[in-house]
Copies of this chain bind each other. A is one copy, B any other.
């Protein structure tokens, strides 16, 4: 199949690589030094997003944020200028669910399908082609592109209509951030009260407090391994999407708002590029106490 891929960063690079390896004809935009290998594998470098759209049946986006998707789709020499009826846009970036509805409407006016398909699983999941993919769109469009998505991910769910994929991703990021906050306060309490946080973590695993975050990020807090992983600055972007969308929707998310303030405090003390488990460091600064000593 002729597939365009725009956004060849940490996530997009291995994802596009899987598509080439699966035998698809890939049209790539903004090939740089780091993504040159894709051309060596057979990918074709285009000199605009428009050119990618002209040459492809399906155009996949994997860019950082809402304004980037806007620019790539509707900017000068953008995807919209190169589309013709019957083509499909799949936005795999993590962006605003509200803006997604708007983008999809404008793409539909061109006679094209639009699916939002954000992922979770991070760089490791992208490399292993084991990403979870949360999709919004019609059942028909979903069925048509599923084989392409299966080249990049494993747990692929049609959540609902256009925007529902981004909504699920935002919900995911809310729950992940707040669960990191939960584990942070629990382990910091235990440590400050004089208990061994590693033993407390072990005692709690398996019970109601157990979570992927207690397992992975709790261990990081104890081991002081805050190299990303998933950066606080990226999680701030996702939580910003959550809070902006919530305001549009007239929805109060008090714990999410507080969590963003703690991420902001991390950024203030120079920890914005740490793994999001580094959230605990904002609380540690307030408490003048660490879950465990830095090694």
Q: CB within 8 Å of B: which residues of A?
A: 97, 120-121, 132, 134, 155, 157-161, 163-164, 167-168, 170-172, 174-179, 181-183, 185-190, 192-196, 199-200, 202-204, 206-214, 216, 242, 245-246, 249-256, 258-259, 262, 283, 286-289
Contacts and interface: CB of A to CB of B under 8 A. Distances in A.
Given A172-B204, A175-B211, A210-B211, 4 more contacts: A170-B193, A175-B183, A177-B182, A189-B246
Contacts of A190: 167-168, 170-171
Main secondary structure of the interface of A (DSSP, over half): helix
A255 B253 contact: no
Contact of A159 (B170, B183, B195, B210): B195
Contacts of A210: 211-212
Nearest to A155: B206
Which of A168, A216, A255 gathers the greatest number of chain B CB atoms within 10 Å? Answer: A168
B186 A175 contact: yes
This chain's copy number in the assembly: 2
A203 to B, nearest CB: 4
B189 A251 contact: yes
Given A194-B167, A199-B160, A203-B132, A172 B254 contact: no
A182 B171 contact: no
Contacts of A121: 207
Which of A160, A189, A242, A253 gathers the greatest number of chain B CB atoms within 10 Å? Answer: A189
A106 to B, nearest CB: 19
Contacts of A211: 175, 179, 210-214
B212 A132 contact: no
8 contacts: A97-B193, A132-B203, A164-B194, A171-B189, A171-B204, A178-B186, A192-B246, A209-B212
